[in-house]
Structure 1
Amino acid sequence: MSTQEAGSRLTNLWDKARAAGMSEPELLLYRSNLLGSDKRVTNYGGGNTSAKVMQKDPLTGETVEVLWVKGSGGDVGTIRMDGFATLYMDKLRALKGLYRGVDFEDEMVGYLPHCTFNLNARAASIDTPLHAYVPKKHVDHMHPDAIIAIAASANSKALTQQIFGGEIGWLPWKRPGFELGLWLETFCLENPQAKGVVLESHGLFTWADDAESCYGLTVDVINRAIAWFETETAGKAIFGGERHKALAARERRAVAARLMPAIRGMVSEEAHMVGHFDDSDAVLQFVCGKDMEALAALGTSCPDHFLRTKIRPLVVDFDPAKPDVAATLESLKPAVEGYRKDYAAYYDRCKHADSPALRDPNAIVYLVPGVGMITFAKDKATARISGEFYTNAINVMRGASTVSTYVGLPEQEAFDIEYWLLEEAKLQRMPKPKSLAGRIAVVTGGAGGIGSATAARLLSEGACVVLADIDETALASAADNLAGRHGKDVVRTVQMNVTDEAAVIAAYAEIAVEFGGIDIVVSNAGIASSAPVEETSLELWNRNLAILSTGYFLVAREAFKVLRQQAIGGSVIFIASKNGLAASPNASAYCTAKASEIHLARCLALEGADAGIRVNVVNPDAVLRGSKIWSGEWLDQRASTYKTDKEGLEEMYRQRSMLKRSVLPEDVAEATYFFASEASSKSTGNIINVDAGNVQAFTR
């Protein structure tokens, strides 16, 4: 019953020494973070916590009762003090006199700002009345898999009584809002001995008079449910028993790598989507089960689940016993189109006169028998979290279908929450996406100065970035730095020797599994050599051509395969050199290879245009800072060629330029971002020189 080891119990993590001396709001924060640290308790963004605190009114100086409750859109696991809404309890109680009934639920949310305490700017959520009217100081509302498995069973009321007796009550399904808050108040007043309540198809409420007791009670109730399911499901067939055998891990990833770019291309018409792959044990048990398709068709139960995953997933036609990925790819397009039509029909059946317009009709969750689960969303974190939510739904279905009959939320109820005007208003308040939101980039030579600066620039505009480099140590260091600044979800690494065909092919497969495909390819891997032609060995000549010409060819060729499969365009950017246009003394191998690179880009621009694949070149010159190629013999060689020392070389390059300015990695990154962005959507086959001005490198 968990996303971790099945049947494992929650641990009471309360530290009395740490909690000693905390104020009531600080104890609420501590309790919230502990509860949110375990996905068996609630998933990201799910659940609410609250405390009723006596505080000094900043206006009157009197001591008043204040409700501290998780604010709208927050996450209990990561919330901080400024994430809680604060409201006067006397004003919240006064709202009962304004309530006109269930047909006027939404207008009550508009009154909540009038109850704000101490000018707190944090918006109160629609769950505020659920906490306000429970006559206890501390309230937890969680979405534990084990409890929702009870709540989503056909006989959930009887199961609740069987497991908890009168200690935990039961209430039928009611959409969150003011009416449900009044229901909870009535239940508490009529059942003073109760310590909590199971909400049908929703979750768990528990309450106590102090923070530690409330936390301990929540953990205990969930553990009791986990223990009961462990006993009741022992020896029983899960999901109807096994229908499929899961493929080996490497084979699962190989199948996902082929499917994900195809799906991504089909679902990215309105906005570029990012993918996530999950083949955890819980997911594999479900996708291999005999009842998987029937259960998946019933849809999810808890509102928090389907708001993240849509009401139901798309089951991909794949037989792991006779794996035929080509046939599956052929079947995907009609399957995706069929899902869209079904979703549009669901919208038409359930819509109201004032419903928001139809949203993206594509599936979010894709279940592949014997392989795992694929999810797509507008960013990596949302794709990952959507997968986590569906894993919670799987755990719920596992428990409910084993001990009873699983029941999804009625279609109209699901629609009314999915297209709730308050949910729509929340969506409209979300910030405008960044310019590269949903884009996936790979940067070769990603551990170097230009590579890491380019990655940082793309990440700052919302892209997911894969750093590729042959230097594993430098790669790990660069990735840690970027992940620390931009988050772990959006940064990945692949060790890649661009001259190794198999390594390049494998790298793109890894990128497909991690993010779903590719949009931006920055070919930046490089070396530099300096020697008079009569001292240039064949090995040195071939090494330059292998990395700077053949390597760029291999990286581009494999990119084209993915980009054409996705059919949503793309941008390939070669980081070449001024030396590809202007000859330089004692560098014939390097200059020739760079010239080859530039002409390859022109050829690819011709070939990619029909598919919306743009290919452009950035030509830097003399980027000394942070560049790995300037840390070895090349630096000594160039200093010798120009009769200066290491310290004087940068100044020499600066004075040689027309603008008398140094070229930095960030300057190259900015030009690269231009070619990656929609700002250059009408440009292909072009070159930008980032060299502070060099007349020999003029392209005309």
Structure 2
Amino acid sequence: MGTVDDLVGRSNRLGADPGTTNYAGGNTSASGELVDPVTGAPAEVLWVKGSGGDLGTLTAAGLAVLRLDRVRALVDVYPGVEHEDAMVAAFDHCLFGRGGAAPSIDTAMHALVDVAHVDHLHPDAGIALATAADGETLTAEIFGDRVVWVPWRRPGFQLGLDIRDVQRANPQAIGCILGGHGITAWGATSEECEANSLTIIRTAEAHIAEHGSAEPFGAVVPGREPLPEAERRARAAALAPVIRGLASTDRRMVGHFTDSEAVLDFMAREKLAPLAALGTSCPDHFLRTKVSPMVLDLPAAAPLEEVVDRLHALHADYRRDYAAYYARHATADSPAIRGADPAIVLVPGVGMFSFGTDQQTARVAGEFYVNAITVMRGAEALSRYAPIEESEKFRIEYWALEEAKLARRPKPKPLAGRIAIVTGAGSGIGRAIAQRLAAEGACVAVADLDGEAASRVAGELGSADVAIAVTADVTAADAVQSAVEATVLAFGGLDLVVNNAGLSISKPLLETTERDWDLQHDVMAKGSFLVSRAAARVMLAQDLGGDIVYISSKNAVFAGPNNLAYGAAKADQAHQVRLLAAELGPHGIRVNGVNPDGVVRGSGIFAGGWGAERAKVYGVPEEDLGAFYAQRTLLKREVLPEHVANAVFALTAGELSHTTGLHVPVDAGVAAAFLR
């Protein structure tokens, strides 16, 4: 269908540039005719991006389809701005056929304008004009009568009527600037509409570039300059767990770190504090970023202890101020306060930390604040940044429609909000564990000595919002620290550690070399210690508890033949579980172990020669080793990587919240390895 294809193509192009419209922001529409299946007569319909969709990734399935005659008939029954919410429900009675997306609050803006194609966008340059103190004058100065100013009004049916009236009264206009909000453009064809949208945006950008002041945020404040990159990243990694712990006071959050030039420059300038206090203006922005950020007010190179103490004090102030903001504006009908922690934390000289219930939400919140910085820069360059009133922000943040949208979200997965690192995750058991944790909602750092294997597995799990790859030699403290820091910078912190990296060399005592002994103990005993130590530092700084799981072995308690170095290293791991459970328990960190039997299929260890060695010991063909292991068990079942992953999930998903110091056998029943 040409009209729909054109609309989707236009939407995707406009949504591809975050400077044109932010993620999930704005909406586009087209009107045309379809045959009414009841009467057989043509019916005029509107295709418009549905609620919660994203222009950049929009497909036909994300469009709401409505009968225009029915939507326009709502004008006659519209009860006024006090009843805007009821009008959204009324759109459901205007739908054409079944299926399609749910209509959004902006549907009226598209249905009531007497033009076939309409774009409503949130471009940085457009919002800069919309939030300038003299935005109406600037609009007339820049565009003449081709673009008309529309004063701020909360999105809804009345805003649609306002824009309809503006368009009718100004037939020469190609669009309008919506005060405090964004832009709307229209055209007789899809091509004309897109061209008009881009004309408004590019004209605004050019005017700001040509006529704006060179330093709209003021001079650089000594002490707030960006730290050198290596020092900046190290400081960020040290602060991220502290900040995430504070931002998770009401609800566990995932974090995202940004140290782009735009962010660092904004934080270094003298207008940082007053502009940050004003908050964002575009509704899509502050719904993600909250009414204002938390800003550290210490020099970039201040001692770490001093910074941590100050962050705690600022967080207490922020929570008190947010609760007061809620109390100032809440009514008997307002939804309950959703949490008083900041979504954006600015640390001059270091970077911006943004938070959300998952990594995508945290990342998008950061992207929105970068948009907001660009908006403030443009407004200050031409005039003075003057966002919408605090009371209006509250009305949108605690809008019943937003509450309903939140209620429609799927139930969180068991590990949602949890951040994990799995060592030896490039193959076998580690890969299966990483897959299971990601499938259950965790953000996962796939760590392996083989960087290519780690990247391959991370790619299997999804985008960087789900998984990252880190190359890590667990025998080297520096490499372990780097892997943990990479995880912290990617996701904000660390909650769940799986010590799975391992290898095995099967030899009799007299053939076991010192190198054999040292290598296995370095990887499994020392490596687990190094990973647990680095992870515990992060968990203690977060003060959110955590889980450390050791993939040990039945060989930790069962004396098999020709297996001294491996069995002794696994016994070391097993006792680390007990020791760390006792030490870390008072901090809410649980430490448990999993004792598998030989996992042959899919195992990197067995494929690397261990299988051939063990098959030789037991006198069976290597291809029959898994079946041999199964037959010596009580259940006569072969242990696979996913069975070990199941045990890790059971230990960490919450049902065993009061269990620590436990070793879970995953061996199909090896009586000689029963725990005593």
The TM-score bracket by the shorter chain reads over 0.9
1:5 alignment partner in structure 2? none
1:425 Cα deviation from its structure 2 partner:
1.2
**Match of 1:499, SS?**
coil
1:170 alignment partner in structure 2? 149
2:110 alignment partner in structure 1? 131
Does residue 182 of the first structure (1) align with residue 161 of the second (2)? yes
**Match of 2:536, SS?**
helix
2:219 alignment partner in structure 1? 241
Does residue 92 of the first structure (1) align with residue 62 of the second (2)? no
Distance 2:172 2:146 in 1: 7
2:495 alignment partner in structure 1? 519
Segment drifting more, 437-446 vs 262-271:
262-271
**Match of 2:209, SS?**
helix
* Correspondent of 1:307 among 284, 287, 291: 287
1:593 Cα deviation from its structure 2 partner:
0.7
Name the amino acid aligned to 1:391.
V
Does residue 471 of the first structure (1) align with residue 457 of the second (2)? no
* Correspondent of 1:358 among 324, 337, 342: 337
1:647 alignment partner in structure 2? 623
Name the amino acid aligned to 2:322.
Y
Does residue 624 of the first structure (1) align with residue 600 of the second (2)? yes
**Aligned residues of 2:250 and 2:341 also touching (Cα < 8 A):** no
1:121 Cα deviation from its structure 2 partner:
4.6
1:656 alignment partner in structure 2? 632
**Aligned residues of 1:276 and 1:514 also touching (Cα < 8 A):** yes
For residues 330-369 of structure 1, the aligned pairs below 5 Å read 330-369=309-348
Distance 2:332 2:619 in 1: 80
**Aligned residues of 1:572 and 1:616 also touching (Cα < 8 A):** yes
Distance 1:353 1:692 in 2: 58
1:558 alignment partner in structure 2? 534
Distance 1:374 1:682 in 2: 32
Work out the percentage of aligned pairs sharing the same amino acid. 48
Name the amino acid aligned to 1:618.
V
For residues 220-231 of structure 1, the aligned pairs below 5 Å read 220-231=199-210
- Quote the RMSD (CA, aligned, Å): 1.1
**Match of 1:77, SS?**
helix
Name the amino acid aligned to 1:312.
S
**Match of 1:68, SS?**
strand
For residues 196-211 of structure 1, the aligned pairs below 5 Å read 196-211=175-190
Distance 1:559 1:284 in 2: 28
* Correspondent of 2:137 among 142, 147, 158: 158
1:461 alignment partner in structure 2? 440
Distance 2:237 2:305 in 1: 13
For normalisation by structure 2, the TM-score amounts to 0.98
**Residue deviations 1:638-681 (CA, integer Å, cap 9, x gap):** 11111122212122112222211111100000001111110111
**Residue deviations 1:17-48 (CA, integer Å, cap 9, x gap):** xxxxx510111111111110110110111000
Does residue 398 of the first structure (1) align with residue 374 of the second (2)? no
**Aligned residues of 2:63 and 2:100 also touching (Cα < 8 A):** no
1:386 Cα deviation from its structure 2 partner:
0.3
For residues 510-589 of structure 1, the aligned pairs below 5 Å read 510-589=486-565
**Match of 1:433, SS?**
coil
**Match of 1:206, SS?**
strand
1:4 alignment partner in structure 2? none
2:460 alignment partner in structure 1? 481
Distance 2:608 2:501 in 1: 16
1:17 alignment partner in structure 2? none
1:53 Cα deviation from its structure 2 partner:
1.2
2:386 alignment partner in structure 1? 407
**Aligned residues of 2:247 and 2:343 also touching (Cα < 8 A):** no
**Aligned residues of 2:601 and 2:626 also touching (Cα < 8 A):** no
**Aligned residues of 2:47 and 2:63 also touching (Cα < 8 A):** yes
2:672 alignment partner in structure 1? 696
* Correspondent of 1:271 among 251, 266, 279: 251
Distance 2:445 2:114 in 1: 52
**Aligned residues of 2:62 and 2:100 also touching (Cα < 8 A):** no
1:29 alignment partner in structure 2? 8
**Match of 2:411, SS?**
coil
Distance 1:513 1:316 in 2: 18
**Aligned residues of 1:299 and 1:409 also touching (Cα < 8 A):** no
* Correspondent of 1:262 among 222, 225, 242: 242
Aligned residues: 674
For residues 72-151 of structure 1, the aligned pairs below 5 Å read 72-151=51-130
Distance 2:363 2:79 in 1: 41
* Correspondent of 2:41 among 40, 62, 74: 62
1:512 Cα deviation from its structure 2 partner:
1.5
**Aligned residues of 1:450 and 1:669 also touching (Cα < 8 A):** yes
Distance 1:195 1:535 in 2: 84
Distance 2:79 2:512 in 1: 88
**Aligned residues of 2:51 and 2:102 also touching (Cα < 8 A):** yes
1:270 Cα deviation from its structure 2 partner:
3.0
**Residue deviations 1:132-168 (CA, integer Å, cap 9, x gap):** 1110000000000011001100010111111111111
Distance 1:664 1:419 in 2: 49
2:591 alignment partner in structure 1? 615
2:297 alignment partner in structure 1? 317
**Aligned residues of 2:293 and 2:343 also touching (Cα < 8 A):** yes
**Aligned residues of 1:173 and 1:202 also touching (Cα < 8 A):** yes
**Aligned residues of 2:448 and 2:473 also touching (Cα < 8 A):** yes
Name the amino acid aligned to 2:515.
E
Distance 2:294 2:649 in 1: 35
In the alignment, structure 2 segments of 5+ residues that lack a partner are none
* Correspondent of 2:419 among 424, 431, 440: 440
Segment drifting more, 503-512 vs 181-190:
503-512
**Residue deviations 1:523-567 (CA, integer Å, cap 9, x gap):** 000010111101111111111111111111111112221111211
**Aligned residues of 1:155 and 1:404 also touching (Cα < 8 A):** yes
* Correspondent of 1:41 among 10, 14, 20: 20
**Match of 1:35, SS?**
helix
Distance 1:480 1:506 in 2: 21
1:229 Cα deviation from its structure 2 partner:
1.0
**Match of 1:571, SS?**
strand
For normalisation by structure 1, the TM-score amounts to 0.95
Distance 2:608 2:173 in 1: 73
1:493 alignment partner in structure 2? 469
**Residue deviations 1:273-313 (CA, integer Å, cap 9, x gap):** 11100011111111111111111011111111101101110
1:8 alignment partner in structure 2? none
Distance 1:629 1:502 in 2: 25
**Aligned residues of 2:185 and 2:197 also touching (Cα < 8 A):** yes
Distance 2:615 2:405 in 1: 60
